[in-house]
């Protein structure tokens, strides 16, 4: 398995669909009024190769984290969002990386668009990447969550702040 | 959060003159929240730069990439594997982020593609209002929750000045006088005593960059 990153893939990956100049600029001029969270998705498919290129770069760290996490829930209380969201398990730092990056990794990048869209909520709405969570076993959870975001970004999936949202506790 | 605004395209183009391979680096933090420098904006700037390069018939290229923060090494690290492929970086983060990028990569010129405008609030999507100038010695506890440093044109701690004009500031009748607001709010809360004592002015001299170390 190649462990050195494919730089071009990395850089190209976030440019998926960037040649579609007109559409993109038009979207901008159209003001984001008509946007919904999904308009950023440039093509309706997932590129497993791109995802795997990123996964391979951090293979060791991901595998180690998934192996080492004892589900002890000690990281839970270090997350202010978890504490302020009535301790809903979905906000637990470990839960967040296991159900996002963990799933992508276990499925070897073979995830569907729907799965990635679902993970977007976990990775953006349930974590602000404040980097304050603490794992007694030394797992760097925010870095793993950021990696999850990076994979989603590579597929053109990220949270759109231009779309109004009712304040929810989901 | 920090509010930023993209610089004029001409200024951006000027700043990177002579550089061939440009990395347009978005920031997924505040810059993204205020719709000024996230992935969408970085990709858009990239498209416009590439169109411009094409019109120049040059072989220059711009590439877009967005990391979660440019003010934290844990997230900047992601760029170290490919940043040397570029001759210059156009950072879409705030001044703190772009300076940190420059510090981490001493050999690569980093140019700001945005202006850092304010610490502010979200009035509505796309509309942001400055509320704080990070003076380092917050007084809004005495001024009814209205910042005189940010809102008063003269930054007075013992206002209003003689120019206050029927609730407006003397520099512009469309700008409400901060001190009238301070007075009204404190009066409504029966706290006028808060502004009866003369408050010494802020020590602005000899300011050096501030570092925050929280002790707990
Ligand atoms: S980085 Fe995310 S998971 Fe960790 S404490 Fe902050 S909000 Fe919680
Ligand atoms: S680099 Fe600046 S804009 Fe980006 S997250 Fe940090 S403070 Fe906010
Ligand atoms: S007085 Fe104003 S500028 Fe100073 S910290 Fe308070 S809100 Fe910010």
By three-state DSSP, how is residue B87 classified? coil
Higher per-residue pLDDT: B109 or B202: B109
Domain carrying residue B180: 133-207
Q: Whose CA is nearest to atom 1 of ligand 2?
A: B97
What pLDDT digit, counting tens, does each position of B25-46 carry? 999 999 999 999 999 999 999 9
My answer on whether B168 and B108 are in the same domain is no
My answer on whether B138 and B72 are in the same domain is no
Quote the radius of gyration of chain A (alpha carbons, Å).
17
Q: Whose CA is nearest to atom 4 of ligand 1?
A: A133
Stretch among A104-108, A162-166, B111-115, B150-154 having the lowest mean pLDDT: A162-166
Site residues for ligand 2, CB cut-off 6 Å? B 2, 27, 29-31, 69-71, 93-94, 96-97
My answer on whether B143 and B172 are in the same domain is yes
- DSSP letter, residue B165: B
Q: Whose CA is nearest to atom 2 of ligand 2?
A: B94
Mention every residue, 6+ apart, whose C-beta is less than 8 A from residue B172: none
Mutate to test the interface with A, among B65, B72, B89, B90 (most CBs of A within 10 A): B65
What is the CATH number for B113? 3.40.50
Mean pLDDT (chain B) is 94
pLDDT at B52: 97
Would the CB of B121 count as within 6 Å of ligand 3?
no
My answer on whether B68 and B11 are in the same domain is yes
Average pLDDT on B176-191 reads 97
My answer on whether B55 and B102 are in the same domain is yes
Task: With CA atoms as reference, report the closest residue to A150 among A138, A142, A162, A139.
Answer: A142
Atom nearest to B119 CA in ligand 3: 8
What pLDDT digit, counting tens, does each position of A143-161 carry? 999 999 999 999 999 999 9
Q: Is the pLDDT of residue A34 over 80?
A: no
A107–chain B nearest CA distance, Å: 23
Would the CB of B153 count as within 6 Å of ligand 3?
no
My answer on whether B112 and B26 are in the same domain is yes
pLDDT at A39: 52
The pTM of the full predicted model, rounded to 2 decimals, is 0.84
B201 pLDDT band, cuts 50/70/90, is confident
CA distances from B68 to A71, A159, B173 (A): 26, 12, 41
Q: Is the pLDDT of residue A170 over 50?
A: no
pLDDT at A22: 24
Average pLDDT on B115-119 reads 95
Write down the residue that tokens 């901008």 correspond to: A28
- The interface predicted TM-score of the complex, written ipTM, equals 0.80
pLDDT at A10: 42
My answer on whether B109 and B146 are in the same domain is no
Q: Is the pLDDT of residue A8 over 60?
A: no
Cis peptide before B158 (omega within 30 of 0): no
My answer on whether B7 and B33 are in the same domain is yes
- DSSP letter, residue B2: E
Helices (H) and strands (E) in chain A, counts: 9, 0
Stretch among A111-115, B134-138, B148-152 having the lowest mean pLDDT: B134-138
Examine residue B127 and state whether it is found in any structural domain, yes or no. no
Measured between beta carbons, which residues in chain B are less than 8 angstroms from residue A123?
Answer: none
- CA angle B176–B179–B183, rounded 5-degree value: 115
My answer on whether B9 and B89 are in the same domain is yes
My answer on whether B15 and B49 are in the same domain is yes
Average pLDDT on A55-69 reads 95
Domain count, chain B: 2
My answer on whether B98 and B187 are in the same domain is no
Average pLDDT on A83-92 reads 93
My answer on whether B114 and B137 are in the same domain is no
- Domain end point (choices B84, B118, B152): B118
Examine residue B187 and state whether it is found in any structural domain, yes or no. yes
Residue to probe by mutation, ligand 3, list B1, B131, B150, most atoms within 8 Å of CB: B150
């Amino acid at each position: 398995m190649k462990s050195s990153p494919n730089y071009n893939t990395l850089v190209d990956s976030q440019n998926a669909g960037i040649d579609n100049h007109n559409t993109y600029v038009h979207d901008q001029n159209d003001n984001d009024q008509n946007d919904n969270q999904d308009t950023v998705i440039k093509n309706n498919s997932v590129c497993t190769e791109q995802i795997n290129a990123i996964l391979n770069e951090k293979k060791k760290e991901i595998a180690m984290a998934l192996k080492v996490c004892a589900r002890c829930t000690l990281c839970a209380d270090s997350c202010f969002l978890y504490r302020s969201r009535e301790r809903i398990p979905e906000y637990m730092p470990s839960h967040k990386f296991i159900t996002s990056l963990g799933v992508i990794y276990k499925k070897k990048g073979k995830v569907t668009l729907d799965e990635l869209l679902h993970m977007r909520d976990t990775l953006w709405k349930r974590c602000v990447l404040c980097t304050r969570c603490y794992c007694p076993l030394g797992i760097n959870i925010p870095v793993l969550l950021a990696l999850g975001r990076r994979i989603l970004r590579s597929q053109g999936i990220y949270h759109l702040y231009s779309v109004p949202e009712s304040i929810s506790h989901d | 959060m920090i509010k930023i605004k993209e610089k004029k395209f001409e200024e951006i183009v000027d700043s990177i003159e002579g550089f061939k391979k440009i990395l347009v680096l978005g920031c997924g933090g505040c810059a993204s929240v205020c719709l000024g420098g996230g992935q969408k904006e970085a990709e858009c700037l990239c498209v416009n730069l590439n169109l411009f390069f094409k019109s120049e018939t040059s072989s220059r290229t711009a590439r877009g990439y967005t990391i979660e923060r440019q003010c934290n090494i844990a997230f900047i690290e992601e760029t170290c594997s490919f940043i040397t492929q570029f001759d210059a970086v156009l950072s879409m983060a705030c001044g703190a982020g772009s300076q940190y990028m420059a510090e981490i990569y001493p050999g690569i010129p980093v140019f700001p593609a945005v202006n850092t405008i304010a610490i502010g609030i979200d009035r509505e999507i796309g509309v942001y209002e400055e509320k704080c100038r990070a003076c380092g010695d917050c007084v809004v506890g005495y001024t009814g929750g209205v910042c005189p440093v940010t809102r008063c044109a003269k930054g007075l701690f013992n206002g209003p000045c003689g120019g206050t004009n029927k609730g407006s500031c003397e520099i512009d009748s469309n700008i409400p006088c901060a001190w009238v607001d301070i007075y009204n709010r404190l009066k409504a809360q029966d706290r006028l005593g808060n502004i009866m004592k003369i408050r010494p002015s802020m020590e602005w001299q000899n300011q050096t960059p501030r570092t925050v170390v929280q002790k707990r």
